[in-house]
Amino acid sequence: MTVFLTTHYMEEASESDYVIVIDHGQVAAKGTPGKLKTHYASDTLRLHAADEAALCHWMKEQNLDYASSLGAFVIKLRSTAEALPILDQCRSLISSFEVLQGSMDDVFLKITGKELRE
């Protein structure tokens, strides 16, 4: 049996077997949620510094590409496992961290360039 569901709720889309993203009436991307996330979304590591200057200096020494966002340093990862050696090495420089997997919201934004609206 095939069920065709249209939705603007990305949580629903991520539970589907196959997703087609339509933008302005055109198919913009299609694939399994996993493949779309791999191709269009990044996993990220958010570091909250115990010593901001020292953490910034350490990341530059490690040639890590990072950005500052909402009081944290954000590092894009190829996979969540890539966070482990980073966390192990900078443990004394951080107060907390988050490892976030790319989401279908990230996929939609990357493909369409637009955020979802309620």
The range of the structural domain enclosing residue 46 comes to 42-100
Asked whether residue 46 falls in the same domain as residue 96, the answer is yes
- Statement: residue 41 has pLDDT above 60: yes
- Statement: residue 118 has pLDDT above 50: no
Asked whether residue 62 falls in the same domain as residue 78, the answer is yes
pTM above 0.85, yes or no: no
Nearest to 29 by CA among 117, 110, 115, 118: 110
Question: Mean pLDDT across the chain, nearest whole number?
Answer: 92
Q: CA 32 to CA 54: how far, in whole Å?
A: 41
Query: Region 5-28: what's the mean pLDDT?
Result: 91
Query: Region 51-78: what's the mean pLDDT?
Result: 94
Lowest mean pLDDT among 3-7, 31-35, 52-56, 81-85: 3-7
Reported as half-sphere exposure (CB side, CA atoms, 13 A), residue 28 has a value of: 15
Q: At what angle do helices 33-40 and 104-112 cross, to 10 degrees?
A: 60
Asked whether residue 92 falls in the same domain as residue 109, the answer is no
Asked whether residue 68 falls in the same domain as residue 86, the answer is yes
